[in-house]
Amino acid sequence: EKNTREEMTTIDRAKRMAAGLALAVAASAMTAGGAAAQDYPTRPITLIVPWAAGGQTDITLRTLAEAASKQLGQPIVVENKPGGGGTVGGATMAATAKPDGYTIAQIPIGVFRLPIMQGATYDPVKDFTYIANIAGYVFATYCSIESKLTTWKEVIDFAKANPGKLTYASPGHGTSNNIGMELIAAHSGVKFTEVPFKSTNEVNVAVAGNHTMCGATGLDAKPLADAGKLKFVNVWTGKPNPKLPGVPTLKELGYPFVFDSPWGFAGPKGMDPKVVVKLQDAFKKAIEEPGLLETLAKYDMVANYKSTEDYRKFVTEVIESERKVVDSLGLGKKAN
**Average of per-residue pLDDT values in the chain:** 89
For the cut 60, the answer to whether the pLDDT of residue 95 exceeds it is: yes
Q: How confident is the model at residue 80 (pLDDT cuts 50, 70, 90)?
A: very high
First to last CA, the chain: 66
User: Could you give the 3-state DSSP secondary structure of residue 194?
Assistant: strand
Q: How confident is the model at residue 295 (pLDDT cuts 50, 70, 90)?
A: confident
Query: C-alpha distances in angstroms, 271 versus 79, 130, 274?
Result: 20, 9, 9
Q: Which residues of 63-77 are buried (b: 16+ CB within 10 A; e: fewer)?
A: bbbbbbbebbebbbe
User: Could you give the 3-state DSSP secondary structure of residue 209?
Assistant: coil
- The arithmetic mean of pLDDT across residues 270-278, rounded, is 98
Rounded Cα gap, residues 143 and 152, in angstroms: 9
Q: What residues have CB less than 8 Å from 298, skipping those under 6 apart?
A: none
- What percent of the chain stands above pLDDT 70? 88
pTM of the model: 0.75
- The arithmetic mean of pLDDT across residues 150-172, rounded, is 96
- What percent of the chain stands above pLDDT 90? 67
Specify whether the CB–CB gap between 167 and 195 falls below 8 A.
yes
For the cut 50, the answer to whether the pLDDT of residue 35 exceeds it is: yes
